[in-house]
Structure 1
Amino acid sequence: MTGQLTFPRQYARTQRFSLGAPRAFTVSPDGSRVVFLRSRTGVDRANVLWVLDPDTGKEHPAADPAVLLGGADEELSAEERARRERIREGAGGVVAYAVDSAVELAAFTLSGRLFIAELRGGTARELVVPGPVADPRPSPDGRRIAYVAGGALRVVEADGGGDRALAGPEGATVTWGLAEFIAAEEMHRTRGFWWAPDGRSLLVARVDDAPVRRWWIADPANPDRQPAEVAYPAAGTPNALVTLSLLGLDGSRTDVEWDRERFPYLAQAHWSEGHPPLLLVQARDQRGQAYLTVDTATGETRVLHTEEDANWLDLFPGVPAWTPDGRLVRISDEGGVRALAVGDRTLTGPRLHVRAVLDVGAEDLLVSASAGPGAKDPETGESHVYRVGENGAERVSEGRGWHSAVRSGAVTVLVSTSLEHSGATVRVVRDGVRTATVTSHAEAPVLASRARLTEAGARRIPCAVLLPTGYSEGDGPLPVLMDPYGGPHGPRVVAAHNSHLTSQWFADQGFAVVVADGRGTPHRSPAWEKAVRDDFAGVTLDDQVEAVRALAEDHPLDLGRVAIRGWSYGGYLAALAVLRRPDVFHAGIAGAPVTDWRLYDTHYTERYLGDPAERPAVYARNSLVTDEGLGEAAEQTRPLMIVHGLADDNVVAAHTLRLSSALLAAGRPHEVLPLSGVTHMTPQEQVAENLLLLQVDFLKRSLGM
């Protein structure tokens, strides 16, 4: 290795250029503080908790891990590592924090220990409590901290006294105050308790995973180590039992009752000032859900609103919620788009496809949305911030790009990316006027992505096309590398420079790279997303084929040399492509692929394919390990590399092993690259770097370059 910094090395050491970038913003209600996380350099993993004055732009560290730990390295429990895997967190230091209602006190963990920081210029200090500590959260008045340790929900005074357990522990299978695996992995509910607005009680989830079947994740490179036991709810098997209780600081307990037989999933909970707790519960098949209010005196629930869908109902960030005057805020499928509904009124129409609710104010709501079918311009790959009120929607973000925001009162933090510039720009705005910019310490990439966003084929499939730096028309057609995710929840065609850096690096190795967001990917329309019902294999693969063939009409694509690579769902799609359409795809790299959907989790898989016991033919049709999955053209085999982390507890290595066995039995040549000690995230620097280099070598060999 030479002394010159290469893109694979930089991409790995900066954790995809995320280190040093500010994130996790909170704005105080009085508009005097913006709190956020950021490491000190673009290669420093340890996040520091910062406070910024929105009017002067001055910032100071509120909690520095190097100081609080005395320079010692972090020590993470197995539970904390698993929690970070669920939220795809690869950084260190302060990776998450929670605040009181005035944003004057923050609570967080370091090495499983509990710390608090005074955000008005005070100090940070440790509270000595039983550990390892998970998910500490201050009460709204800042007088106490609730946290989870040893499966128990505990509370300690902010001065460090009075520590006690409010519930638990109850044994190895029961936890109080934590989100179960399926909620954290698929519902994006990462918490399991909520403070009452008056700080006198908490709404707490009790999880019993005794019914969940046990899997064992072994480390074959270290046979002396005992395999890790994982409670994994695979499709068609039992989920954890989740209930709720209201726990008073006085020791009282009131169990919350709802129809758990009909709605076993606790999808979300919300509790805000002046209103009762609000729950969103779902049916197991996710075709029905109910919004419930909770009587805090009796624990009884009342149905506020119900929804049904012939395919499934999606969950969205920021909802459900209450408006200050007590109306339900939700996002629903209406008029061919995702619409914002408040009370009995729908506030957005066909021009907006709402993705998330960012803030609920007294006069309006702040939302994230993309252009709907009724918009004047398609805005391929863009997402904007809108202020929505009774009289319509007004765009807040400016310029082509991918935008989000955090708001409280008059102060808004706008986070914006574009195709033209690396990283994100973070602007602090008060009453519509920019007052400060939050500095990023993220490294500038050693290459620039030159993605061209377009639409392809009769279906107008959103695509990004990347050609080698310096390419000219006289250079002729190029071998093609399809680089999709291609499945639910994972948009790749976005107006953000850094999102296309890896694709550009592959392009600079001599490929025309195509990223296609076919049916099933989000943010276009409910019908677009739900087209994959019962048919991952047909719909998502067909759209990749349509995209590459349509783009070849006006781009320099050599359709005689087409490869495909992907990770997770993209890995499934890559393997699917070379096995079932060898007439189109000539080589594939399948990273951590789901090969047998019976081995993937309940909430995700059953949403799209149903119960495997009731629909075995659907699972067989979408599997890669059945005769149908392997494809019929055994005489036309294509090179396939399968890559898998052996420590992956999300898409377990059994997926790759079963596919390899099926391929071997069918006489289909392939390569398997096992990654010892690697999870679904592949965070290790050397592994991430060399994995890119090995992929290029495989692709060039396979395509005769």
Structure 2
Amino acid sequence: MTSRQQHSFPRQYARTQRFTLGAPRSFTVAPDGSRVVFLRSPSGTSRANRLWVLDLSGPGGAAGPEGPAVEREVADPEALLGGADEELSAEERARRERTREGSGGIVGYAVDAAVELAAFTLSGRLFTAELRAGTVRELPAPGPVIDPRPAPDGRHLAYVVDGALRVIGAEGDGDRELAAPEDGHVTYGLAEFIAAEEMGRTRGFWWSPESDRLLVARADDRAVRRWWISDPAHPDRRPAEVAYPAAGTDNAEVRLLLLGLDGSRTEVEWDRERYPYLARVHWSAAGPPLLLVQSRDQRSLRYLAVDSESGATRTVREDTDPVWLELLPGVPAWTPDGRLVRITDQGDEEGGARVLAVGDRVLTGAATQICAVLDIGADDLLVSATAGEAADAPETGEVHVYRVGERGAERISEGPGVHGAVRSGGVTVLVSAVPGEPGSRARVLRDGERVAELVSYAERPALSPRLTLTEAGPDRIPCAVLLPSAWREGDGPLPVLLDPYGGPHGRRVLAAHHPHLTSQWFAEQGFAVVVADGRGTPGRSPAWEKAIAGRLTRTLDDQVAALRALAGRFPLDLDRVAIRGWSFGGWLAGLAVLRRPDVFHAAVVGAPVTDQRLYDTHYTERYLGLPQEAPEAYAANSLVTDDGLAAPENPARPMMIVHGLADDNVVMAHTLRLSSALLAAGRPHEVLPLTGVTHITPQEQVAENLLLLQVDFLKRSLGLPRD
């Protein structure tokens, strides 16, 4: 690979935000099937998302397949801001960090029940868009506005500013405060840190179907331990105060209130001491408000129906598990006829299945592992799922969309790939990413027939993966192997780079093109790259995920097992093996060179959780319990203890530790403690601090140069020729 080619991909990868810019995203389908709303930036390098509508109406405006589908731009942030740069409040930046949102412009929107009115923010200002007419107006709301949402009837909007929940008329009239924080520790209508970071609940208020009341979360973080994140590059700036609930410490106290537009206020009652986590809220015309609350040890979930007059709750169902229960997208919810929809784990410890249940009936079996409920119709449900261990044939890395009814599951996505969907009113947006083609396709189907395909402006990458998806060893560990495009049989073995995430909620072995681009770029530098999804990663079975309970280090055992099993089938030089990773993958890379220096000879350790006591409650306690009750588990799974630093007779291996100084998720203290422990043990290492960088690295120059520095370190550490 020439020097220009070596640099071109990192630059393109950074400039396009991993080739996501310009691709349509965030789809909503109108219930009458007349239009699809979505976001898309105008080019593959523009970060400013615009709001678009795809009209599916036939002649005269009647919904139908008769007329051609037409894309309309509804809102352009540059025009609405008069060309001014966006200004984000600290609260908005934090919200985007929790969702790993790196783009700009209109990054999210909410709609009324008819999908005729959309609401969004720009620079903390409140805008609405009439989706049929394509007109946009700014409402005179105090700012900075966060998370505006229209009522189902479209007559009012609720939003949050400075921790207070407010309501304004859709015409800009009658703005008023429904709930104001009593002090600086309380917020109304926002998801607290743990809900947004770990539970997948990014919102804090929900409209009633009648549009006259709201369920509103009240979060009080006064008991949460305070941390301070400073920017050493700017000593003149005050450190940022962060309420961070580390493992074993207090969480924010979360309550739920029923607030009426008439000023009424009723608190929702449940056993918050036993079930402190408010995980999900669902409110539809099909039944009473529905809550999913979770115990702190995450072994019990309770489904609660709310009396919307008194605030009292009754238990609809309770699920328990001796290890833990996952929180999954799209559930719980009611079917149109009032039955409870949930996803639950069934089966023995050897495998089991994650199944879809409606009312008292389980509708799927061990042949599929349900990942999410995508839509609930009158006659069926739309779900995403992977092939379970009981499937007839392995589908390594594939995710499919199924229609599930009383007669079982029917797959509607075709061919190897990673598929997802949004559906309403007989119209489905099917989004598919496949191994042999760059990007993804967003096809619009009506009653199963394609009527349109949304245009993507995403750039084509400068390279394509030379990808083999396979399984390794007796445990059938899902793996992806990538070789240099120029490598041919007879060229001999290659130095190996393991490139995993390798942990919970982080599946990397996917039957798609883009997830493997960075791995392929490393392959082009002369490596055989191996990505392995061992125990703890999702999509295989509940037992596969839960095998790491108390022992996160089992993930390293599976990396070693996959490496050795693949060595007989691929040109892997086991005398030159490196590993790189970020976040959990960074912890795994550090663990690899400290615990198994007989296998691993160098590591890039990115944003690692080195001391498990410094990571948050909901994540860490799920796997290790409370540190007060299981200190030995925390020691055994940390990198900064005697166990973590391994026996002194083990040879030291080169480590490059990379961390963003502004990271409020995995704070810089993790890397500093590891570096201090390594120094005390006399182990050489390198630390690369990233000024102004959080847990994600959207900055173009940082993202580009970080790849180049990593490959230089790896070649230097393994004694390979450097360009």
Using the size of structure 1 for normalisation, the TM-score is: 0.99
**1:29 pairs with 24, 31, 34, which one?**
31
Deviation at 1:635, TM superposition (A): 4.4
Counterpart of 1:358 in structure 2: which amino acid?
L
Q: 1:646 aligns with which of 631, 643, 661?
A: 661
CA distance in structure 2 between the aligned counterparts of 1:352 and 1:151, rounded to whole angstroms: 42
Question: Does structure 1 residue 587 correspond to structure 2 residue 605?
Answer: no
1:475-508 CA-to-partner distances (Å, cap 9, x unmatched) read 1000000000000000000011000000000000
Q: Which residue does 2:363 correspond to in 1?
A: 347
Q: Does the aligned pair in 2 maintain the 1:634–1:668 contact within 8 Å? A: no
Contact (CA 8 Å) 2:290, 2:333: kept in 1 or not?
Answer: yes
Shift of 1:437: 0.2
Whole-angstrom CA distance in 2 between matches of 1:149 and 1:245: 18
Q: 2:497 aligns with which of 467, 473, 481?
A: 481
- After superposition, give the CA deviation of every residue in 1:205-231 in whole Å (9 maximum; x if it has no partner): 000000100000000000000000000
Aligned partner of 1:662 among 670, 677, 700: 677
Report the 3-state secondary structure (helix = DSSP H, G, I; strand = E; otherwise coil) of the residue aligned with 1:317: coil
Letter in 2 for 1:112: G
Distance 1:669 1:595, change over 3 A: same
Q: Is the 8 A contact 1:151 1:170 kept in 2?
A: no
* Pair 1:532 & 2:534 matched: no
Runs of 5+ consecutive residues of structure 1 not aligned to the other structure: none
Determine the structure 1 residue equivalent to 2:642: 627
- Which residue in the other structure is 1:442 paired with? 458
Is 1:259 matched with 2:275?
no
Task: Verify the 8 A CA contact 2:190 2:205 in the aligned structure 1.
Answer: yes
2-side partners of 1:520 and 1:274: how far apart? 36
Q: Given residue 453 of structure 2, which amino acid in structure 1 is its aligned partner?
A: T
Deviations 1:317-353 (CA, angstroms, capped at 9, x unpaired): 0000000000000000013110000000000011111
Q: Deviations over 1:413-448 (max 9, x none)?
A: 000000000100110000010000001000000111
Q: Partner amino acid for 2:9?
A: F
- Indicate conservation of the 8 Å contact 2:286/2:335, yes or no: no
C-alpha distance in 1 between matches for 2:410 and 2:706: 45
C-alpha distance in 2 between matches for 1:596 and 1:274: 46
- In the aligned structure 2, how far is the partner of 1:151 from the partner of 1:697? 47
Structure 2 residue aligned with 1:388 = 404
- Partners of 2:567 and 2:400 lie apart in 1 by 31
Secondary structure at 1:81 match in 2: helix
Query: Shift of the alpha carbon at 1:275?
Result: 1.4
Instruction: Specify the SS of the correspondent of 2:242.
Output: strand
1:72 and 2:88 matched: no
Deviation for aligned residue 1:372: 1.0
SS in 1 for 2:490: helix
**C-alpha separation in 2, matches of 1:440 and 1:29:** 24
Q: Note if 1:457 corresponds to 2:459.
A: no
Q: Quote the residue 1:422 is aligned against.
A: 438
Residues 139-188 of structure 1, C-alpha deviations (whole Å, 9 max, x = no match): 00000000000111000000000000011132111000000000000001
In the TM superposition, residue 3 of structure 1 has moved relative to its aligned partner by 10
Conservation of the 8 A alpha-carbon contact between 2:660 and 2:693: yes
Q: How do 1:192-341 and structure 2 match up within 5 A?
A: 192-335=204-347, 336-341=352-357
User: How many angstroms does 1:57 deviate by?
Assistant: 2.5
Q: Which amino acid aligns with 2:612?
A: W
Give the Cα separation in 2 of the matches to 1:351 and 1:139. 40
Q: 1:522, 1:451 → 2: CA distance?
A: 21
| 1:5 positional shift | 6.9
Letter in 2 for 1:576: L
Q: How many residues align?
A: 704
1:177 maps to which of 164, 168, 189: 189
Q: How does 1:396-415 map to 2 (within 5 A)?
A: 396-415=412-431
Q: More deviation in 642-651 or 46-55?
A: 46-55
Q: Which moved more, 1:4-13 or 1:648-657?
A: 4-13
Q: Distance in 2 between matches of 1:4 and 1:341?
A: 50
Matched position secondary structure for 2:292: strand
Is the alpha carbon distance of 1:519 and 1:4 closer, same or farther for their aligned partners in structure 2, counting shifts above 3 Å? closer
Q: Which residue of 1 aligns with 2:686?
A: 671
Check if 1:91 corresponds to 2:103. yes
Q: 2:10 aligns with which of 1, 8, 11?
A: 8
1:133 match: 145
Corresponding residue of 1:701: 716
Moved more, 503-512 or 52-61: 52-61
- Range that drifts further, 53-62 or 38-47: 53-62
What is the CA–CA distance in structure 1 between the aligned matches of 2:557 and 2:163, rounded to whole Å? 47
**Aligned-pair distance for 1:409?**
2.0
Aligned amino acid, residue 219 of structure 1 = D
Give the alignment's Cα RMSD to 1 decimal.
1.0
Correspondent of 2:707 among 673, 692, 695: 692
The residue that corresponds to 1:100 in the other structure is 112
CA distance in 1, matches of 2:134, 2:453: 23
Distance 1:323 1:635 in 2: 59
Preserved contact between residue 102 and residue 140 of structure 1 (Cα < 8 Å): yes
Q: Which moved more, 1:377-386 or 1:626-635?
A: 626-635
What's the secondary structure of 2:708's corresponding residue? helix
60-69 or 24-33, larger mean C-alpha shift: 60-69
Q: Determine if contact 1:84/1:90 at 8 Å carries over to the other structure.
A: yes
Work out whether residues 57 and 438 of structure 1, in 8 Å CA contact, stay in contact via their aligned partners in 2.
no
**What amino acid does structure 1 have at the position aligned with 2:129?**
A
Q: Residue 554 of structure 1 aligns with which residue? A: 569
**In the superposition, relative to structure 1, how do residues 31 and 5 fare at CA in structure 2: closer, same or farther (>3 Å)?**
farther
Aligned equivalents of 2:19 and 2:240: distance in 1? Answer: 31
- 1:352-391 matched pairs, under 5 angstroms: 352-391=368-407
Q: Is the 8 A contact 2:286 2:334 kept in 1?
A: no
Which SS does the other structure have where 2:643 is aligned?
Answer: helix
How much has 1:4 moved relative to structure 2?
9.7
> Following TM superposition, by how much is the alpha carbon of 1:453 offset from its aligned partner in structure 2, in angstroms?
0.3
1:582-609 per-residue CA deviation (whole Å, 9 max, x = no partner) reads 0000000000000000000000000000
| In structure 1, C-alpha distance between the alignment counterparts of 2:110 and 2:314, rounded to whole Å | 30
Gaps of 5+ in 2: 57-64
Partner amino acid, structure 1, of 2:76: D
Q: Which amino acid aligns with 2:365?
A: G
Task: Show the counterpart of 1:42.
Answer: 44
Query: 1:361·1:409 contact (CA, 8 Å) conserved in 2?
Result: no
* Distance across 2 between alignment mates of 1:128 and 1:450: 54
What is the aligned partner in structure 2 of residue 112 from structure 1?
124
Q: Deviations over 1:367-420 (max 9, x none)?
A: 000001221111000000000000111001011100000000210000000000
CA distance in 1, matches of 2:346, 2:417: 26
| AA matched with 1:703 | L
Counterpart selection for 1:472 from 468, 475, 488: 488
* Cα distance between partner residues in 1 of 2:46 and 2:544: 40
